[in-house]
Structure 1
Amino acid sequence: MARKAQTPDIGPFDRHSISLRVDHVRQLFQTLDPYPFTERDLDKDAEEFIVSWARELTGDGPIRIVIHLPAQEASSAEGRKLGNAVRRYFEERTRAVSLDLRECFRLGRLSLAIGASVLALCMLGAQALSQHSFPGSLQSFLTESLIILGWVANWRPMEILLYDWWPIARHRNLLRRLSVADVRIVAVSPDERSHPPH
């Protein structure tokens, strides 16, 4: 559907450019989406292509998306709206992933409250057990088991709050960069279409 291609010198965007070529504007969008063209979701392959190349770009400078289209498609009404449609899609994806990030932190806080409560109860239980005498090493076994249970209950909240949110935040930041990308439409002549750049 689309492939990485060399593009002309485009100044400061040179190291932050993604280039793809399609024969029709509609190839970039989901064909079954009932919404108007400018509100449609990107085709999953097109989104994966753009996002995967964006991840490989060095630095955090502005991104340019260069879309090569046949001249007739580039000059069509849809071709002229293509840049806004692509940016709008990534704006929506940024909002969706931001909600995912907030949900991750909400779940982390809830899990931490539960884990801290379990730890407190386990410590109280261990303290209560220490006031009683049990045969052999049973008292030590029960006390240590309660303490271990209390700390294990906090493993998941710590994992969420310390590690799980990083990939979501990185993905959101990447989508945010794509939502303000400079989308450049390049009209391709029939000769160029038969001899694509490599």
Structure 2
Amino acid sequence: MNSQNTSIEAIPANSSIIKVRLQELNKLFDLMDPAPPYKQDLHPNVAEHIVESARELPAKALLALVLHVDQAAPLARSDHAVSDATRAYFAHRSTQVQRKLRLHLRRGVISLIIGLAFLATTLTTSQLLGVGGFATTLRHSLEIGGWVALWRPMEMFLYDWWPILGDKILYRRLARMPVQIKYSANNR
């Protein structure tokens, strides 16, 4: 700690700063989490605030987190441990989102195989139907149903994975950001 009641972790001058005010540093963490202090999750409200604040900043901006702490309550970890735990939390979230993306793409492949098999079946069945009023209507209905079966796999591969990838990139950025703790002047 330096004389200005600030942790010593440096923040680059060109960083976009995310600010969080806490009554005491313990409120940063989810106290219901039974994990050891260095692996404890951030409090859900704090984590959401940090993530949403980061989303509002430019995608290429360097991020930094400044924690303004009003009371210096006893804490079982050092300021560096708090910084490391904060970054570890977002690194873990990035890993979780990476798994979610892999699972999503795997489900997309399975859905595509099922959709293509269904399309092949409906097209083959529609070719076996005779010609006539009801047969033509049934043939067209089967063909449309077969093509509609590909809707969800195409949606998964064309659109649904982008937000997941965006979250992964955001969490990686948050996992690299410096964390600075500033205590009120009358503390420490």
Q: Same fold (TM over 0.5)?
A: yes
Q: Which structure is higher in helix share? A: 1
- Check whether the contact 1:118–1:150 (CA below 8 A) recurs between aligned residues: yes
**Alignment of structure 1 residues 20-169 onto 2, 5 Å:** 20-70=20-70, 72=72, 77-129=77-129, 132-134=130-132, 137-169=133-165
Query: CA separation in 1, counterparts of 2:89 and 2:131?
Result: 67
Query: CA separation in 2, counterparts of 1:143 and 1:77?
Result: 70
- Check whether the contact 2:27–2:43 (CA below 8 A) recurs between aligned residues: yes
Amino acid at match of 1:102: R
- Check whether the contact 1:122–1:147 (CA below 8 A) recurs between aligned residues: yes
Following TM superposition, where does structure 1 have runs of at least 4 consecutive aligned residues deviating by more than 3 angstroms? Answer: 70-78
SS of aligned partner of 1:66:
strand
Normalization by structure 1: what TM-score? Answer: 0.82
Q: 1:189 aligns with which of 174, 178, 185?
A: 185
Query: CA separation in 2, counterparts of 1:55 and 1:166?
Result: 15
Q: Cα gap change, 1:158/1:64 in structure 2, threshold over 3 Å: closer, same or farther?
A: same
SS of aligned partner of 1:22:
strand
1:72 offset after TM fit, Å?
4.0
SS of aligned partner of 1:18:
strand
- Quick one: percent identity of the two aligned structures? 35
- Check whether the contact 1:25–1:78 (CA below 8 A) recurs between aligned residues: no
Query: CA separation in 2, counterparts of 1:74 and 1:181?
Result: 25
Amino acid at match of 1:122: T
User: For the aligned residues, what is the CA RMSD?
Assistant: 2.1
* Structure with the larger RCO, 1 or 2 (CA within 8 Å, 6+ apart): 2
- Unpaired runs of at least 5, structure 2: 1-10
Q: Cα gap change, 1:75/1:110 in structure 2, threshold over 3 Å: closer, same or farther?
A: closer
Query: CA separation in 1, counterparts of 2:166 and 2:124?
Result: 40
- Check whether the contact 1:74–1:80 (CA below 8 A) recurs between aligned residues: no
Q: 2:176 aligns with which of 170, 176, 180?
A: 180
